[in-house]
A and B are shown apart, each in its own frame.
Chain A
């Protein structure tokens, strides 16, 4: 169905649903006879880690509803690929991606809202639903959660630190070259810096309490924000944080025993496990007397394209099939991330201390803002962090970053 048709339908019939709906039914009666001959096609785009798992799993869905499901792999450029294709009215019916894409996709008008019933929402954590909500509408169905935590070499530092000060002390006592590795790199890294920023009381956008963020209230230079950047400067001077920690050395230094602590995410575990070292994953400690160091929560999920040629089955897939424990468990095992479905998460983390560790680290996690304004935050925030660590005045870095962010938001 071409998009134009869809639109008219939605407008004239005042029934977005019916357009999407078109079609449905019959999964039951025909499922047996339909297995050989597919009556339609559903195209899913996913990245290189999810594609193999999805391919394996769509067979069930194919059998259930008699639609051929094609999973296409897009390495690295999935986010852009979808934008480019969908705005031409092409592209897949479903795209699998991170929740922070939702702001950009929704404001481009390229994804359709999905409605989950109250029961369905209850099976998911509140945060993961919030993560996919843009302007009051849910735009994606979550399946996995991830956040960063503190990975500790238990031979070098036996006890989990309760405060960041303890961490620094333990890092020094370990007698290693570095106290801690955390990817900063020359341009800074707002994602990794956020827990420390939050611990000092900084916020990015004001939350109205209901999960709606106000892009016009930027808190990078709030008193807490300034205190955080001053802390960055202090830690930089002390040699705890360095802009020379980048993607090339953060994990190798930890694996080589050059540091007892590393702040990183589940993706680092492959290397750590490969090194056969003793480690534990715990929460990132907050500063003494300050708030918890809550990391960003990243949620992966399924989006339905607004230009989906088979919107009906795409919606059926994301609303009913994605929320099955089986699929979520499989995806979790492939990606090493916690499932979004609460029951699947419990089953998955039961005997997995790493997952439990990251889950504990993510207890206070806040969904990474998905509003478009967030795109204006990453660079200035990161650079201000790098500047502060390299010796610039913390307060000044914070105010400059905040001004730049405000200008960028006002301009867009």
Chain B
């Protein structure tokens, strides 16, 4: 009891306590809200995870100890939910054949193939459908023949003609010995109907579709013994190929629907060994590095240059210039990129018109590369300008004065003092800018869309790894999420490695200069 009290006393003020209680109540409420669909879907692992997360939150905050954990927990949980989980799922997908034709599980695929085998009997009858219970309590289809208006009762035994009352459309509303279902009942008891098959012949039966029915046959059936689907109409037998997630006939003909299976490292081996993929992959990778490095270099050079110019003592109108230079950065980059894309039109674009050129910006590899670098530099340098200006103003003036006294010229002082000092402060930002541009999907997709492409090319002249991966997954040609995920994993590894190396270099640099 005493312990309990001292715990609650952990919140210093009444307001703090109230906030704590309401936040925890909110967590509990959210947990219940999220648990309901998980329970409904029978996702027990998800439920266990959720309960664990919820338990941890309560454990940490209800007690008084573990102050550091209280700060770490929210961030950690969100990191797991929104960073680590997606990465794990991407990696999981990269080992599968998930993509067009392999989207569902085997049961659903089997079911779809069988459903496609239902055929209307040529010249067979069509009916309006009602459903009812017979006096004995058996489920019965109450059918009205659309051709002659005769009324029938259909159960597992077959069809029997009955007398019944019908409405204006011809549908049965009442019949002797049967209780006709109302709509509500129909909706609620849909599942029961699934068990009812009404035969009309050896092969054929009544197939209900909506509130109508027709006479037809189901020609396909699945046999667990041979793990195969047989079509009695055509005599075809599709045997399951569980390695590839498809049903295949002896002749190698693949059934329409396949399912999602684990294919191991096939996607990775495809990237590494298939020359059709490896070739472009190396090409894109090189250009990707060049694009990211070029973007950082150009934006930094121009940004630093303008910042130094504006930082010069005695420079007038700096406020005006600053506002003016931020403009490209302040405008929405999506709109700007689309405007740039128009300006580079060969025949009607502003750039060619203005300079009297006829460069085919989208058709020539080098021109296209120059184009995306130009536009991306324009969009990116105000950012560099801003941070350079800030860093310049924060530089200790004594080192520069000392350099001046020692007789260093402007260039030498810049090279030996200003730039190294700036770089210590700015390198982390340059690295993150590099990482950003390495995956600068918007710039490429909206400017060039990866163009130029030659007929037969899977990869365009300005494609980055990320735009290439995107096209694999969501492009106009066949979707292949498994392969695209494998590429994403590669991109992740590449960016992580580059960043790690660069941060290490920076640390060494800091040791030297500080």
Contact = CB atoms under 8 A, between A and B. Distances in A.
Given A16-B118, A27-B169, A186 B452 contact: yes
A158 interface: no
Given A18-B196, A107-B100, A65 B454 contact: no
A95 to B, nearest CB: 15
Contact of A319 (B131, B194, B210, B452): B210
B129 A14 contact: no
B211 A135 contact: no
A286 B172 CA distance: 56
A23 B456 contact: no
A400 B457 CA distance: 9
A27 to B, nearest CB: 6
A383 B191 contact: no
Nearest to A253: B348
B167 A28 contact: yes
- Most-contacted residue by chain B among A12, A87, A107 (CB, 10 A): A107
A87 B456 contact: no
Given A24-B208, A383-B453, A397-B455, A6 B197 contact: no
Interface stretch (A45-53, A238-246, A264-272, A287-295): A238-246
Given A16-B207, A186-B452, A372-B101, A26 B478 contact: no
B333 to A, nearest CB: 18
A14 B194 contact: no
Given A187-B449, A187-B453, A320-B211, A9 B194 contact: yes
A334 interface: no
A319 B128 CA distance: 12
Interface stretch (B75-83, B214-222, B283-291): B214-222
A184 B299 CA distance: 34
Interface stretch (A111-119, A163-171, A200-208, A345-353): A111-119
B409 interface: no
A242 B360 CA distance: 12
Interface stretch (A325-333, A354-362, A401-409): A401-409
A27 B171 CA distance: 8
Most buried by A among B112, B213, B258: B112
Contacts, number: 304
A235 interface: no
Interface residues of A, number: 92
A22 B187 CA distance: 8
Interface in B229-255: none
A122 interface: no
Given A21-B213, A383-B453, A65 B183 contact: yes
A3 interface: yes
B220 to A, nearest CB: 9
B256 interface: yes
Interface stretch (A143-151, A306-314, A335-343): A306-314
A403 B181 CA distance: 59
Contacts of B111: 3, 6-7, 10-11, 109, 306
Contacts of A73: none
Contact of A408 (B130, B169, B477): B477
B488 interface: no
A25 interface: yes
Contacts of A412: 100-101, 478
A87 B477 CA distance: 19
Contacts of A25: 129-131, 142, 171-172, 180-181, 183, 186, 211
A30 B129 CA distance: 14
B265 to A, nearest CB: 18
B372 interface: no
Given A1-B194, A24-B211, A108-B100, A379 B108 contact: no
Contacts of A108: 100-101, 103-104, 257
A110 B101 CA distance: 10
A317 interface: yes
B287 to A, nearest CB: 18
Given A39-B183, A106-B257, A21 B193 contact: yes
Contacts of B131: 22-25
B168 interface: yes
B119 to A, nearest CB: 8
A162 interface: no
Given A109-B112, A186-B451, 16 more contacts: A3-B107, A15-B205, A15-B218, A16-B118, A17-B213, A17-B216, A21-B141, A21-B209, A22-B193, A23-B186, A107-B101, A109-B111, A244-B346, A384-B455, A390-B363, A404-B456
10 contacts: A16-B207, A17-B208, A20-B208, A20-B210, A24-B130, A67-B183, A106-B112, A115-B209, A376-B477, A383-B453
3 A-B pairs with the lowest CB-CB distances in the bound complex, closest first:
A21-B208, A17-B207, A316-B210
Interface of A: 1, 3-30, 34, 37, 39-40, 65-67, 80, 83, 87, 104, 106-110, 112-115, 117, 134-137, 186-187, 242-244, 246, 248-249, 306, 310-320, 372, 375-376, 378-380, 383-384, 387, 390, 392, 397, 400-401, 403-404, 408, 412
